[in-house]
């Protein structure tokens, strides 16, 4: 886009915006902006042919900024939409809900050793294993979020039982799991009926 501004001390002045530097601007939009810029310049010069070049340039730049903003916004929105479409999974999404077994480190001595060294804890007390998997298919990430049972991880502590009062009551855990519609998992986690 090239717009002649007139002359300054006998030299021709013009404003140019090369189309190769406008990846956000299509050919038709480039032509439209060019025509608007020429029309704005003609109106300014018609109203007062003696205006200073700096004022004409400033007015044209301001006018083009207002005209180009919706085009730039549309390009940005399209680019964001295209990027989201490319990153979104296509087709059905296979999902797995894993129920993990993490043996509880239930004595104060064992819990205290964690601050000293993880290696001080017996290997059998720090193994994580999958006890049960639920497999299902969803159409989108939004639907996957709807299938979430828990939205965060939390520690549950129930009434302590046992000779040293250092065991949680599994009956209370089973009741809690039933209340949260995951009672079936209790059987798989604890091999208990």
- The total of other beta-carbon atoms located within 10 Å of residue 64's CB is 19
Contact 103, 57 (CB under 8 A): no
Residue 44 burial by Cβ neighbours in a 10 Å radius (0-12, 13-18, 19+): middle
- Average the pLDDT over 31-39 and give the result: 83
Q: Which of 4-13, 20-29, 33-42, 95-104 has the lowest mean pLDDT?
A: 4-13
Q: Which residues, including other chains, have CB under 8 Å from residue 27's CB and lie 6 or more apart?
A: 19
> Minimal CA–CA distance to 95: which of 135, 131, 130?
135
- Predicted structure pTM score: 0.43
pLDDT at residue 131 greater than cutoff 80? yes
Token look-up 């040293």 returns 164
**Helices of type H across 48-169:** 53-87, 108-116, 141-146
Q: Which of 2-6, 40-44, 59-63, 73-77 has the lowest mean pLDDT?
A: 2-6
């Amino acid at each position: 886009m090239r717009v002649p501004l007139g002359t300054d001390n006998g030299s021709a002045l013009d404003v140019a915006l090369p189309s190769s530097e406008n990846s956000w601007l299509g050919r038709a939009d480039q032509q439209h902006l060019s025509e608007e810029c020429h029309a704005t310049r003609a109106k300014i010069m018609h109203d007062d042919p003696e205006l200073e070049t700096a004022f004409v340039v400033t007015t044209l730049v301001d006018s083009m900024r207002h005209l180009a903003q919706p085009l730039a916004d549309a390009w940005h929105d399209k680019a964001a939409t295209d990027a989201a479409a490319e990153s979104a999974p296509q087709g059905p999404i296979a999902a797995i809900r894993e129920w993990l077994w993490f043996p509880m480190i239930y004595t104060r001595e064992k819990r205290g050793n964690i601050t000293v060294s993880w290696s001080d804890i017996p290997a059998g007390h720090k193994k994580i294993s999958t006890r049960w998997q639920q497999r299902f298919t969803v159409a989108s990430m939004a639907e996957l979020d709807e299938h979430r049972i828990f939205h965060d991880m939390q520690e549950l502590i129930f009434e302590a039982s046992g000779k040293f009062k250092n065991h949680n009551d599994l009956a209370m855990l089973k009741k809690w799991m039933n209340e949260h519609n995951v009672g079936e998992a209790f059987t798989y986690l604890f091999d208990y009926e």
